Amino acid sequence: MKHVITVLVENTEGVLARIVGVISGRGFNIESLNVAPTNDPTVSRMTIQVPGDDRVLEQVTKQLNKLIDVIKVSDLTKDRFIDRELIVVKLQVEPGRRAEVKELAGLMKAEIVSVQADTMILQLAGDRERVVEFIELLKPYKVSDISRTGIVAMSKADSDSPAGRTGNRGKTAGK
């Protein structure tokens, strides 16, 4: 099972390294990681996708909650949430097949962002399932490169907002 975790953290130097260190240091893999500031520039939201069973999730959550910079850890896996990923794909496309690719892009609501002599670059933003489906549909073409952002996710519940948080703010390293 793939768990989707969001972590609200203080937007400080080294916090990303500490988070990654806690997870990888215990032998858990990070399948996807995305981090950016929230509407509060002092807080960042990390979206982490971790494969494993519930025991893995419990261990990751407990370890993250111990970090000083962590404000809130949320497991979105079993809740209602919105997720998006951006994928950019470079295809080797002969001029005679461009119409096919253009039609496929239109059906998937992907955007053609570049056309060169023998290549086309497409981008698509959507949930994980849509991105995987898009990749599958591109298999008949020669894919020469793929770049993916990893997922970003947000709970549909009102309580995941950085405003009004308590979390670990104010903790000191010795406490």
Write out pLDDT tens, residues 112-149: 999 999 999 999 999 999 999 999 999 999 999 999 99
pLDDT of 155 > 80? The answer is: yes
**Which DSSP letter does residue 168 get?**
T
Q: Which helix (H) or strand (E) holds 21?
A: helix 15-25
pTM reported for the whole predicted model: 0.79
Sequence spans of domains, the chain: 2-78, 82-148
Question: Which class does domain 82-148 fall in?
Answer: alpha beta
Asked whether the domain spanning 82-148 has the same topology as the one spanning 2-78, the reply is: yes
Smallest CA-to-CA distance from 147 within 133, 130, 156, 135 is with: 135
Measured CA to CA, the distance from residue 133 to residue 152 in angstroms comes to 18
Name the average pLDDT for the chain. Answer: 88
- At 168 the pLDDT is 52
- At 173 the pLDDT is 38
Q: How far is CA 54 from CA 19, 24, 126, 129, in A?
A: 19, 17, 26, 22
If you count them, how many residues does the chain have? 175
- Tell how strand 81-92 and strand 152-155 pair up: antiparallel
pLDDT of 11 > 50? The answer is: yes
pLDDT band for position 159 (cuts 50, 70, 90): low
Residue 167 token pair: 């979390």
- Domain 2-78 homologous superfamily, CATH: ACT domain (3.30.70.260)
Answer for the pair 131, 85: CB distance below 8 angstroms, yes or no: yes
Measured CA to CA, the distance from residue 169 to residue 12 in angstroms comes to 12
Which one has a higher pLDDT value, 157 or 88? 88
Per-residue model confidence as pLDDT tens digits over 28-51: 889 999 999 999 999 999 999 998
